[in-house]
A and B are shown apart, each in its own frame.
Chain A
Amino acid sequence: MSRIGVVTFPGSLDDADAARAVRLAGAEPVALWHGDHDLAGVDAIVLPGGFSYGDYLRCGAIARFAPIMTEVVAASERGVPVLGICNGFQILCESHLLPGALIRNDHRTFVCRDQVLAVENASTAWTTDFESGQHVTIPLKNGEGSFVADAQTIERLEGEGRVVFRYVGANPNGSVNAIAGITNERGNVVGLMPHPEHAVEELTGPSGGTDGLGLFTSALTALVS
């Protein structure tokens, strides 16, 4: 059985939900600790949502220097699938595993809602179980989810098909080009602001939807192939 690690930082909130999503997808979740230099031999890694280090300094800025991140960066360079959700996305940007940054929502308020997304790239390690152009509904909850990058970086991301998810309808936070999630050149590292781990069961998913499960089952497909 594939083993997917979920890193817990001080202030992580959604590590338990992420581990649950991994289990529902059919893999074995492995709890990883921010202070360890040890990935326990996992096949893929999830950086979960929350408020690591209380969002002090900048979201993800201190978590980036946690001991485990040295190992996460090295693993990502070997092609190991890495998924950053919300605060995990912010950590990936601060670590320079993904370009750009997440700043405070343009309307200055926390947003919490079921968000429709378009899957723009269905060939990353985390999205092969979707169709390109498919719409999915996934909960979005953040105060600092506005994706920004310089014009050149945006042009590259768009030109190379590295925008993985885009908000459909009203832009919820002022993200450039309504970008909700991106990937690295290799397609093994993906970060997104919405929370797929909250849309994996009929009882608790948005309108009974389980659209989020596809990210986790995609990783399993990537690991088996």
Chain B
Amino acid sequence: MARIIVDVMPKPEILDPQGKAVHGALPRLGFDGVTDVRQGKRFELQVEDADDHTLAEVERIAGTLLSNPVIEDFTVRVEDAS
């Protein structure tokens, strides 16, 4: 078994109101050192084997369902076996 991680983030030029809300809350909690926050999504896909075929399939899954290419970028990586 292997685990593939797909990270989805709003494109840099797209406004991220959720990240802004989180950022806005930090000073109220006494944290002053953070200059910006962007909020994304992390998907963990459990697969039998993270071979090239499966990775190519996950790329397609990430590009069609997990992310919307109009507003989001994604990265795919295999999690290190621990």
Give the number of residues in A that approach B within 8 Å (Cβ atoms): 21
Q: What is the minimal beta-carbon distance from B70 to any residue of chain A, in angstroms? A: 4
Q: What is the minimal beta-carbon distance from B33 to any residue of chain A, in angstroms? A: 23
Q: How large is the interface on B (under 10, 10 to 19, 20 to 34, 35 or more residues)?
A: 10 to 19
- Assembly CA distance A107 to B17 (angstroms): 7
Q: A57-B66, A174-B15 are in contact. Are A108 and B71 (CB under 8 A)?
A: no
A101 touches B71 (CB 8 A): yes
A58 touches B70 (CB 8 A): no
- Assembly CA distance A159 to B55 (angstroms): 41
Q: A57-B65, A61-B65, A65-B65 are in contact. Are A149 and B17 (CB under 8 A)?
A: no
A94 touches B68 (CB 8 A): yes
A108 touches B70 (CB 8 A): no
Q: A103-B14, A106-B15 are in contact. Are A148 and B20 (CB under 8 A)?
A: no
A101 touches B17 (CB 8 A): no
Contact partners of B21 in chain A: CB under 8 A: 108
Contact flags B1-23 to A (C-beta < 8 A → 1, else 0): 00000000010001101101100
Which of A61, A65, A108 lies in contact with B68, CB distance below 8 A?
A61
A101 touches B70 (CB 8 A): yes
Cβ-closest chain A residue relative to B71: A101
- Assembly CA distance A215 to B49 (angstroms): 52
- Assembly CA distance A108 to B17 (angstroms): 6
6 closest A-B pairs by CB: A101-B70, A108-B17, A104-B17, A101-B71, A108-B21, A101-B68
